[in-house]
Each structure stands twice: as structure tokens, then as C-alpha cells.
Structure 1
Amino acid sequence: MIARTTGAAIRGILVALVVLTPALYLPVSSTNGTEIVVFLAILAFFLTFAEYNSAFPSFIEFRDAPPVNRLRFVGLVTMVTFLTLICKNAYMPTSLTEVFYSVGLSIANIVDFPYSPVRLIVLILPSGASAPLTELVRISASVAYVAALATIAAFAYAVKLRGWPTGNGAFNVWTNLPLFDPTKGGDVVTRLQRDGRLNISIGVLLPFLIPALIKILTEYADPISLNNPQTLIWTMSAWAFLPASMIMRGMATLRIANLIVEKRRAYSTTESTQAA
């Protein structure tokens, strides 16, 4: 009980620190900005603590099947930290921020090519956007997208080469997939495979669809202002992290479906041998 409470508290503190990171290093755009950020950090802490301190899952998936959520967290921390230092270079440049900005610029020169998701993000900026803002958005989008790809690659390594989740003991579907009801009609394997393929497909398409949707919505509403560095950081992080998280979920559910198929096949073989 104590170990679970301590672990939940540590997780909550780490999540709260991620929420606070941009506000600690970058200027706040409004007088109420600090209070809002602190409130969100406290809310993130309590939600994370309540989820991991409870013996019964509610909405966080794969909480007992590392390293899924750990990789997600590391990927998000990498995005937020990297983008914070890049944005800080525009306000208070230091030797450290200049290094991160240079690395980000090198990444942008590689992944920013015609029809890439990064290029589409740049195209949503208004025609009157300044050159420094355009360059900052280009670099931020590139870094976030590469961090998302690295997170997906790390999980693919865990699945393909490390045999996730078999190394963590028995996989409890109820605990790790609280939003999935195995009794709700249809074969479990078919449903898991369908959900997995759907999540991967949507995750692959979202980095292309989100800029297009934003561009369409700007014709009917005021566009998102990326002049605020904190808005830029969270917008780019969400744009890259959400699709990556969906792809990882799709890979995980497909893996679970394959394990169930293998278990059924082994059970069928055992039954056939005993019958003979």
C-alpha cells in the first residue's frame, strides 16, 4: 500500500512538473497565466495520483504494462523540454539554448520537405507571419515530430525484440485496458485487431489532417496565435504526441490480439494431443 501510494505521488509530481516547465522558463502572456498553469499542474497531479493509487483502473491504459506509459511520458517530456529551450533562445539566449536551437534547426532541415507534416504546419501560419516566427514554428514542429517518431520506434523495439508484454508477467486486460469491454459482443481478437488497425491508421493520418482542419477552421474563426511561446509549445506537442500515442496504442492492442491467438492455438493443440 505504501509503495503504491509513493509511486503514485512520484508520478503525479513528475506530470505536474511537465505542465509547469514552459511557465518556469518562459514569459507568461497574461496576468492570470500563472494561476492557470498552477491550477492545471495541481489538477494533473491529483488525476495521476488518484489513478495510480487506486487498485481499480479508470481511464489510464497499460498502467501495469511498462514501458508503454513510461515511453509516452519520456516522449512528452522530451518534446516540452526541447521546445521550451528552443523558444527561450528567442528571449534570453544562452550557450545551452543556442545548442538546442542549432540541433533543432538541423532536424528541421531534414524533415521539412514538400508535403511533409512539418511543411503543412508551417503553411497554417497567416500570410503576414514574421520570418522569425515562421522559423520557430518550423523548428518546433520538426523537433516534436521527430521526438514522436523516436517514441514510436522505442515501443516497436520493446514489442518486436523485447517481447512486450510477456516479460512483465500475465497481462490483465481489465487493468490495462479499462475502456475495453471484452464481453461486449463479437470475438475479442477481432475487436482488438480492428481497434489496433484503426488507431494506427488515425495516428498516421492525424499529423496531416490536423493542419488541414485548422486551415479550414480559420475561415470561420480566429486562428490559433502561435506568437505566445507557451501556446506554441503545447500546440506542437499535442500535434505530435496525440498521433504517436494512438499509434502506440494500436501496436499494443494488435500485440495483445496476437498473444490471445497464440494462447488459443496452444490450448487447441494441447486439447488435440490429449484427445488422441
Structure 2
Amino acid sequence: MIVVVILTPSLLAPGSTAENAQVITLVSLAFALVVAFEYGAKYPGLIEFRDAPPLNRIRVIALFLMLFGLSVIMGVDREGSTLAVVVTALGYLVGHALDFPSSPLRLVLDHLPDDVNPAIAGQVQAMAGLAVLITIISLFIFSALIRTENWPNRGTAFNVWVNLPTFDPTAGGDVIKRLVRDARVNVIFGICSPFIIPVVAVMAANQLQIPVLGSPQTMVWAVAIWMFLPLSLVMRGLAMLRIARMIRARRARLVASVDADAPGSAVPS
């Protein structure tokens, strides 16, 4: 699945060459091997929530839908298929609705060159709108799973060490407070990143002289990362808040059980 996701822009977006396809294939295979090793290993490594589906599945599916939809929009002039027209119209409709002052989409459009082709500007607006729509739907699905308490309940105990390998519960301080603090930081960064990424991307492209608008695949990846990074951060924050609530509830049950078993807790008849 990782190979398919990474290869999607090179397979669908125009402007792909044989050399680029070979490089992207090698990169996708390398990522696939890392993911397979992480999920097959007995001990945790770098991937979080590997034993708490479907968090990572929602992330990967959302990234695939972004790359697929954005690649279809980039090839609408070349293909002209019904799917490309429908996806482009949907993205442009959402993008037009989100095109208001101080919005992340307006920030992206404002950072386009002054002499940009209006057709390319329209494509960027449609791509951004589609990426935002997929992000909102993914967050709604994961939030619904948390709200109904169907995540991460799987009939087994939740292992913090396996699912949060970079979080050390014994580092000091109350683990619940640290989880809540880290969750809030992730949510704040996730909300702010759509405003920060366009500025950083434009500065990096100008310094490295990368023709983003001249490469369809680069545009696809840039817009996808623009929304996928906030999605991952907010989902991580929501997941950590859910874990903190689970630990708090379990701690309350243990305290209540100890108090009930304590001498003198029961009143003799």
C-alpha cells in the first residue's frame, strides 16, 4: 500500500520521465521496507500507534486520496475524463467557499507569482480545496471513532510503550498532564501549520530555485503535504487526549477499588 501511495503521482500526473519513475520507485520500496520492518518487529521503533488501528490506516488512505485526486486534477486538460471533471469541480467548489481573507487557501493563492497563468491558479485553488475536504472528512471519521469510544478499544490493554515509542511515561511528572500537554501542542501546531507551510515552502523554493509551478508532480506533493501534516498532527493530538482520558478513568477505578477494600470501608449491619 505504501508503494502504491508514493507511486500515484508519477503514474497519474503528467510530466513523468523514466529517470524520475526509477527514483520514485526506489524511494517507495525503501519506505515500504521500513514500514514492513516496523510492523513486523516485536519491539517498537519509530511508527506510532501501530497496534491501535485504524489511526494509521486513516492517515494512509487520506494521503492516497489526496495524491490521487490532486493528480487527477493536474491531468484534467490532458485526459478530460468525467472523473477528472467531477473531481476538479468538487475541489474548485470547496476552494471557492474557503477563499476568504485570512484563510489558509487565500494565503496559498497570495504567494503565487503575479504573472502566474490563471489556469494554473485555478488548478491550485481546486487542488487546495480538495485537500482541505479530504482532511476535514478524515478528522471527522477519527473524531467519531473517539467520540463513540471505539478507539482504541480492541478487547486488549492499550500498550503505551508500543503505540507511543517516543513518549517516556517514566520521564518525570504526572503522565496524564504530560499527555495532555503534548496533545495540546500537537493540535496547536496542526492548526497553525496550514498558515506556516506556504510561507516556508515559498522561501525554500526560492532559495533552492525549485520550479514548483512548472512541475505537476511537485505541485501535487506540495499541496498534499500542506494538508497531510496538519492532519497527522491533529490526529496525534486527539489520540493522546483519548489515551490521557483512558489512563485517568483507569486510575479512578483503581482508587475506588482500593478504597472499597480498605478496612472499615464497609458499615456492619
Q: Compute the TM-score of the two structures, normalised by the length of structure 2.
A: 0.92
In the alignment, what sits opposite 1:8?
none
The answer to which of 212-221 and 201-210 deviates more is: 212-221
Structure 2 contact 127–223 (Cα < 8 Å) conserved: yes
Does residue 1:82 correspond to 2:65, yes or no? no
Please say which of residues 54-63 and 91-100 is displaced more in the overlay. Answer: 91-100
Specify which of 95, 100, 125 is matched with residue 87 of structure 2: 100
Superposition deviation, residue 101 in structure 1: 1.4
* Contact 1:214 1:223 (C-alpha < 8 Å) held by counterparts: no
Instruction: Name the structure 1 match of 2:59.
Output: 72
Does 2:26 match 1:35?
no
Q: Using the TM superposition, name which of 67-76 and 212-221 deviates more.
A: 212-221
Query: Which of 222, 225, 239 pairs up with 1:252?
Result: 239
- 2:198 aligns with one of 211, 217, 221: 211
Q: What secondary structure, in the 3-state scheme, does the structure 2 residue paired with 1:128 have?
A: coil
Which is higher, the Rg of structure 1 or of structure 2? 2
**Aligned mate of 1:114, from 94, 97, 101:** 101
Q: Residue 226 of structure 1 is aligned with which of 190, 210, 213?
A: 213
Q: Which residue of 1 aligns with 2:32?
A: 45
Equivalent in the alignment of 2:127: 140
Deviation at 1:112, TM superposition (A): 2.0
Instruction: Find the aligned partners of 2:76 and 2:155 in 1 and give their Cα distance.
Output: 42
Deviation at 1:123, TM superposition (A): 1.3
CA distance, structure 2, for counterparts of residue 121 and residue 206 of structure 1: 12
Shift of 1:29: 5.0
The AA in structure 2 aligned to 1:213 is: V
Report the alpha carbon displacement of residue 222 of structure 1 after superposing the two structures with TM: 3.4
- The 1:150–1:51 alpha-carbon spacing in structure 2 relative to 1, beyond 3 Å, is same
Q: What's the secondary structure of 2:219's corresponding residue?
A: helix
- Asked whether the 8 Å contact 2:14–2:75 carries over to 1, the reply is no
Amino acid at match of 1:157: A
The Cα offsets for residues 146-175 of structure 1, whole Å up to 9 and x where unpaired, read as: 211111111100001244212452101111
Distance 1:239 1:253 in 2: 22
Q: Is 1:127 equivalent to 2:114 in the alignment? A: yes
Matched letter for residue 45 of structure 2 = S
Q: What amino acid is the match of 1:54?
A: A
- 1:182, distance to aligned residue in structure 2 (A): 1.1
Once residues 108 and 169 of structure 2 are traced to their aligned partners in structure 1, the CA distance between those partners, rounded to angstroms, is 39
Asked if structure 2 preserves the Cα contact closer than 8 Å seen for 1:62 and 1:69, the reply is yes
Q: For 1:266 and 1:57, how far apart are their aligned partners in 2?
A: 28
CA contact (8 A) 1:203 1:247 kept: yes
Q: 1:175 is matched with which residue: 139, 151, 162? A: 162
**In the aligned structure 2, how far is the partner of 1:134 from the partner of 1:31?**
28
Distance 1:102 1:221 in 2: 33
Count of aligned pairs between the two proteins:
263
**Gap runs ≥5 in structure 2:** none
Determine the C-alpha separation between the residues in 2 that align with 1:192 and 1:255.
9
The CA distance in 1 between the partners of 2:42 and 2:84, in whole Å, is: 42
Measure, in 1, the Cα distance between the counterparts of 2:12 and 2:187.
35
The structural deviation recorded for 1:274 is 1.1
Alignment RMSD (CA, Å): 1.7
- Is the CA contact (8 Å cut-off) linking 1:203 and 1:243 kept in structure 2? yes
**Deviation readout 1:5-41 (Å, 9 max, x if unpaired):** xxxxxxxxx1100111111122335552112111111
Partner SS for 1:18: helix
Q: In 1, are the aligned partners of 2:93 and 2:129 still within 8 Å (CA)? A: no
Q: Which residue of 2 aligns with 1:198?
A: 185
Measured at CA, do residues 96 and 219 of structure 1 come closer, stay the same or move farther in structure 2, by a change above 3 Å? closer
Q: TM-score with structure 1 length normalisation?
A: 0.90
